[in-house]
A = this chain, B = another copy of it.
Amino acid sequence: MQPMIDWNLFSNPAPLINMASRSFARLGERRVKPFGFSIGQLPVVYLLRHGGAMSQKDLARQAKTEQPSMAQMLSRMERDGLVRRAPDPDDGRAQLISLTEAALEKLPATRAALDEGNQHALAGFSEDEVQMLVGLLRRLNENLDGMVAREE
């Protein structure tokens, strides 16, 4: 039970993380747009980067989004020629999703543009500080994942 002192949005991780997330999204959007991607698509791109194929379900699980979010995303990506859907020969319900050649070709340049932006975001951070931040964020995500799973 902590005292009901007045609230400071900027000393809690949650709002700081929300702000950072939105800023990263806006900046990332600008950087990947020239290559025909949008920022939310990157987890899918990442998972399929070697040219392999995955089901929608596996993509959703590994990208940690809900299945309907993934379905919608894949529809847009298919519409934009980034992704191909093929019926799974072993399961009539499922699809196998893979990146198109066009998408694969644009990957290296896209990633370079994005990396450059991420470097700028960490201007003034020592290597140790970056590692510290990443480590703390990983632990935070582990806690959060558990809470989401337990419906806490």
- When distances are taken between beta carbons in the complex, the residues of chain B under 8 Å from A152 are 27, 117, 120
Instruction: State the copy count for this chain.
Output: 2
Q: Is A133 an interface residue (CB 8 A)?
A: yes
Interface size class of A (residues with CB under 8 A): 35 or more
Instruction: Choose one: B12, B17, B46, B132; the contact of A21 (CB below 8 Å).
Output: B17
Contact B21 A18 (CB under 8 A): yes
Instruction: Choose one: B120, B124, B136; the contact of A147 (CB below 8 Å).
Output: B120
- When distances are taken between beta carbons in the complex, the residues of chain B under 8 Å from A25 are 18
Instruction: Choose one: B20, B21, B121, B136; the contact of A129 (CB below 8 Å).
Output: B136
Knowing A121-B144, A139-B124, A143-B121, say if A15 contacts B43 (CB, 8 Å). Answer: yes
Binding site for B on A (CB under 8 A): 2, 4, 7, 9-28, 30, 42-43, 46, 49, 64-65, 108, 111, 115, 117-118, 120-125, 129-130, 132-134, 136-141, 143-145, 147-148, 151-152
Question: Can you identify 5 A-B contacts, CB atoms within 8 angstroms?
Answer: A4-B111, A9-B46, A14-B118, A18-B24, A121-B144
